[in-house]
Amino acid sequence: MMIKFLEAAENELYEAIAFYNLRSKGLGFEFSDEIKSTLQRIKNNPEAWAPLSRRTRRCQTDRFPYGIIYQVREDTILIISVMHLRRNPKAWRKRIPKKQQ
């Protein structure tokens, strides 16, 4: 399966990497590695993670307080959000039409 990011999700990822690199040298790269590991878990078993709606699921990272919100679409895993779990948990819903949630 191919992994594709919505532009907003990609921006969230880069902002989080930059934030963690400012907090501590190299921490952003550790965060990036954690995201890659989480994406691999999703890719290996896309239906295993907590459903948020009919088509949308969330997989939490192990080390950082983030969840990856995604949908499985044919041969693609669409990343809707790389979401900090202490922020508005329903903000991702604005990114996709209701009928696709």
**Residues 4-38 pLDDT 10s:** 999 999 999 999 999 999 999 999 999 999 999 99
Distance separating alpha carbons of residues 89 and 83, to the nearest angstrom? 8
Tokens coding 25: 């040298």
Question: Domain locations in the chain?
Answer: 2-88
Confidence of residue 96 (pLDDT cuts 50, 70, 90): low
Q: Closest Cα partner for 5 from 89, 83, 80, 100?
A: 80
Task: Give me the chain's average pLDDT, please.
Answer: 90
Residues 6+ apart with CB under 8 A from 32: 13, 17
Task: Give 3-state DSSP helix, strand, coil % of the chain, rounded to 5.
Answer: 45, 30, 30
Regarding the domain delimited by 2-88, which CATH topology (the fold level of the hierarchy) does it fall under?
YaeB-like fold (3.30.2310)
User: Can you give the pTM of this predicted structure?
Assistant: 0.85
